[in-house]
Amino acid sequence: MTEKKKIGLAVVGCGVVGRMRSNFAKDFPGIGWIGLADVNEELGLKLKDDIDADFFTDDYRELIARPEVDAVIIATSTWAHVEPTLAAIDAGHMLMIEKPLATDVRESAQVLAAIEAAGIDAVVGYTQRFRRRFLAVKERIQTGQIGDVTAAVTRAFMNRMAPTGELRLTQDRRFLTPMVVSGTHSLDMCLWLMGGATKPVSVFARSTDVVMGEMGTKDATFGVFTMDNGAIWSMNICWSLPKEWPGSVYGLEIGIVGTKGVIDIEDTHRDVVLASEIPQGAGYNPDGLNIEATRNVDFLTSFPPGDMHLDELWGPLREETNSWFQRIYNKKATPHATAQEGHRNLTLTMAMDLSAKLGKEIELPIDPNILMEGLES
């Protein structure tokens, strides 16, 4: 019997998420070669040593062109996904792309068109789909336990450490809004749970920037979508809570009402609370970000990728990454977000931003050029 060819994996971006996914890759038996790329040579070489990777370069083009590569993880900064993604598509590689596909809907549409034209398998990193509670809800809704959806509400609360960490790396912050950067997770979750039976046909939103305005972003965006079946969906996010807020990044509530039932999801992580005389430090503290925060209370299990034990990360990011390895190596069906869904999510988050800017309802779908021209004007 011929031995199955192992996957050659390229990881572009060696920061927090790239490091996590690379660590899972080194333990997956179906991956036989790992190459890394990052503009920060010190960061990349350290990860290479830590996981005993086969190759490192500071030029993603050099990595993607290597003959060993079959699949690519794009884990660069939020605004730097497009060029390496297009290079990987041109090379015909399978892809996992951290959300969003782009921070410009026109570029996102270009990426999606390239993926579809090349006929490659590409997924987008929406890690929370791999949480046990959300998978259970998805199964119940999918099997008709609440009937047809008539109304939904989504509320996400975050302390300001995540936007501080994201925004410090660039001065071009026009489109790094709470919806585009973080609200996209809760938007994707609610749409995924509701299924593809209904689609948004309009959105009206409002934003405020009292606290985060000096950093070039918004405090909060609240909006209401109308669906094509008449259902209404309230989508809200605030990422300006004080840095002392106990939640590490994200607290979420979702309610979905149907013709035969209702599902109410409380995912604020207040079920496991630590209070200690010992300061807990910042809940979100990526490389190069040193936030002084006096936090003596912590909501445990609130870090979205998972939790550390025995020097390993356990939780949804591990599940998502290993499921993707199974997808590309063993051709398993998985609940990953598709590139089409990733583009849809970006379009809807930016449509909310446009509605808030103009103070009027936006009809959907909207042409990417019209959307971006409205945001840029």
> Cα–Cα distances in Å, from 341 out to 144, 328, 352?
22, 19, 17
| pLDDT confidence of residue 15 | 93
Say which DSSP state 65 is in: T
Q: For residue 373, what are its two tokens? A: 């021209």
Mean pLDDT by 10 residues, the chain (377 residues): 89 96 98 98 98 98 98 95 98 97 96 98 98 97 96 94 72 80 95 90 97 91 97 96 83 96 96 92 61 81 90 96 98 97 98 98 98 96
pTM summary value: 0.94
**Where in the chain are the domains?**
7-128+319-338, 131-304
- Single-letter amino acid, residue 370: I
Beta strand 297-299 pairing with 362-363:
unpaired
Label residue 255 exposed, middle or buried (CB < 10 Å: 0-12, 13-18, 19+): middle
Distance CA(377)–CA(374), nearest Å, equals 5
Distance CA(114)–CA(116), nearest Å, equals 5
Distance CA(47)–CA(72), nearest Å, equals 16
| pLDDT confidence of residue 250 | 81
- Cα 215 → chain centroid: 22
Topology classification of domain 131-304: Dihydrodipicolinate Reductase; domain 2 (3.30.360)
Distance CA(134)–CA(190), nearest Å, equals 10
Class of domain 7-128+319-338: alpha beta
Distance CA(248)–CA(284), nearest Å, equals 6
